[in-house]
Structure 1
Amino acid sequence: MDKISLDKEMILDATEEIIRRFGPDKANITDVAKLLKVSHAAIYRYFDGKTALWNAVTERWLSHLHAPSNEILKEDSPADVKLSNLLESFVEAKHHSAINDPEMFANYIKLAQSSTEVIQKGIEEGINSIEGIIEQGITEGIFFTESPHQEARAVYLATSIFIHPNTFEDPDRKQNIKSVINLLIRGLKNSNR
């Protein structure tokens, strides 16, 4: 492949393919270079090393994973409905990925344990999305809080347990998610705090 036709997206696509083929523990830059029929040096022109490349792949994967959530933010619906939909979307996206794309989900878990930068960015984006909906709810007179950001962080933390693989096999998982979300929304609606 000539240098001109190689770009970051091609490298990211190839890296995802390699991770899916070999798993995150065995995949490496050599495999990516071989798949693209380029040298290691060609990859290093775009990424500073394996960590940078794997971070970029995970960041892109998370962005695709959360695309449906971004559509929910655009909905013209009351804040309580929108928040419920968003939280269910967050937890179900990871669950579906673990089932349908286990190698990339394993890569995400591995990265979460070793490099928090990409994961922290995703968490902050999630919290900011929740905060925006809470602020919408305050404007609509549905939610009552003086600290939307702190409430958004609490809501995120309360539901984040459901993205952990240990919860995926629980037969009551869906009901537990609904119960927690309903409890959180009732708390936000409580004007007697």
Structure 2
Amino acid sequence: MLESDHCRPGMTSRRRRRQESRETSVARILGAAETLCAIHGSAKTNVCDIASYLSMSPANVYRFFPSKLALYDALVARVLEDTFPATRSGSDRKLSAATLREFFGGLHRGFLALMRDEEKLFELLTIADDEHWPAFEAHVKRVRSIVAELVEAGVREGEFRQQDSLRAAECLCTSTAALWEPKAIKTFHLRRSLITPEELISFSIEALRNGALPC
């Protein structure tokens, strides 16, 4: 028992180094996947390409990701985190409606920038959205949770009518989906030329106020 206690600090240090080494390897693999996908697209980039880019064997890549799908799902999570690093409810000093407008506007601008500047990576997000990959589903849940917090704050302050915040968040996210879901955002500006994103967001938020019909 005493010997075990004596060895524990060294064992902890080794575990920490192994964990750091694993995190470094995962980051390198995802970085290579992002670089190649941005150039060639996910359909034309496979595990062998990524391994070759890193001068390692495909088997070494599979040590960290059991499949190509698992690797690309992790890449989707990385792209979403890099694009929306501050996905949170925002300052409590602002009215909930104003914060909601900023929040959905930020989502829209972020996806528009990806679609414009990183077309191949945006295509990957579109696939992840369409096929309900875990990373994109987690992003959707995070967005819905933030919106629910803001709705609840608005109800508490009397800015919005009494309502179920989770149901209201679901309604609001659905009504603005064309602005921040990759599979829908591509056609928004083509098919809805009479309204702006800001007008759609404001119109949807108005349903949260007193006198609006419950969703």
Q: Same fold (TM over 0.5)?
A: yes
Aligned residue identity for 1:112: D
SS in 2 for 1:97: helix
Name structure 2 gaps, 5 residues minimum: 1-20
Q: Indicate the larger mover: 116-125 or 96-105.
A: 116-125
**Counterpart contact for 1:162–1:168, Cα < 8 Å:** no
**Counterpart contact for 2:87–2:143, Cα < 8 Å:** no
Distance 2:189 2:29 in 1: 31
**Counterpart contact for 1:14–1:36, Cα < 8 Å:** yes
TM-fit CA distance, 1:75: 5.7
TM-score (norm 2): 0.80
**Counterpart contact for 2:26–2:64, Cα < 8 Å:** yes
May I ask how many residue pairs the two structures share in their alignment? Answer: 188
Larger Rg: 2
**Counterpart contact for 2:176–2:204, Cα < 8 Å:** no
2:196 corresponds in structure 1 to 176
**Counterpart contact for 2:73–2:135, Cα < 8 Å:** yes
SS in 2 for 1:58: helix
Identity across the alignment (%): 18
TM-fit CA distance, 1:185: 2.0
Aligned residue identity for 2:137: Q
Q: Indicate the larger mover: 129-138 or 60-69.
A: 60-69
Root-mean-square deviation (CA, aligned residues, Å) is 2.1
Q: Select 1:144's aligned residue among 161, 166, 169.
A: 161
Distance 2:38 2:200 in 1: 33
Task: Indicate yes or no: 2:78 matched with 1:44.
Answer: no
Q: Select 2:145's aligned residue among 128, 144, 169.
A: 128
Moved over 6 A (4+): none
Aligned residue identity for 1:166: T
Distance 2:170 2:79 in 1: 23
After superposition, what is the alpha-carbon deviation per residue over 1:129-171, rounded to whole angstroms, capped at 9, x for unaligned? 1001111111221111320000001100111112321124468
Q: Select 1:77's aligned residue among 90, 94, 99.
A: 94
Change (3 A) 1:192 1:171: closer
Distance 2:62 2:100 in 1: 42
Name structure 1 gaps, 5 residues minimum: none
Aligned residue identity for 1:34: S
